């Protein structure tokens, strides 16, 4: 296959087809910061609470909420950068 044909098909040098990932919709205002579950080894964080074996353990502290918000922003920024590279 000629290089121009590869470019037209969106094929990268590594023989991987480039596909644009869809962007998620904006979060509705009524959703909490952590309505999306975050799964870690030994626990899950969802709706500003920590769960172990599906049992609520405690609410996140203000510091933990800030750390989670920072992490979510970093992930969002990373995903935007990855999309720019593709």
Question: Would you list the domain boundaries of the chain?
Answer: 22-85
pLDDT of residue 54: 92
Angle, alpha carbons 46-49-52 (nearest 5°): 85
pTM of the model: 0.54
Highest mean pLDDT (candidates 19-33, 48-62, 72-86): 48-62
Q: How far apart are CA 80 and CA 8, in angstroms?
A: 23
Class of domain 22-85: alpha beta
The answer to whether the beta carbons of residues 37 and 49 sit under 8 Å apart is no
Q: What pLDDT sits at residue 35? A: 74
Residue 6: the pLDDT is 46
Q: Which pLDDT value is given to residue 81?
A: 87
- Please give the average per-residue pLDDT across 16-35, as a whole number: 61
């Amino acid at each position: 296959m000629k290089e121009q044909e590869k470019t037209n098909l969106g094929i990268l040098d590594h023989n991987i087809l480039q596909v644009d990932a869809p962007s998620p919709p904006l979060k509705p205002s009524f959703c909490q910061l952590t309505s999306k579950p975050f799964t870690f080894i030994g626990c899950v964080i969802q709706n500003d609470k920590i769960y172990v074996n599906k049992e609520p353990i405690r609410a996140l502290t203000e510091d933990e909420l800030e750390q989670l918000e920072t992490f979510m922003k970093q992930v969002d920024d990373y995903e935007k950068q990855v999309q720019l590279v593709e």
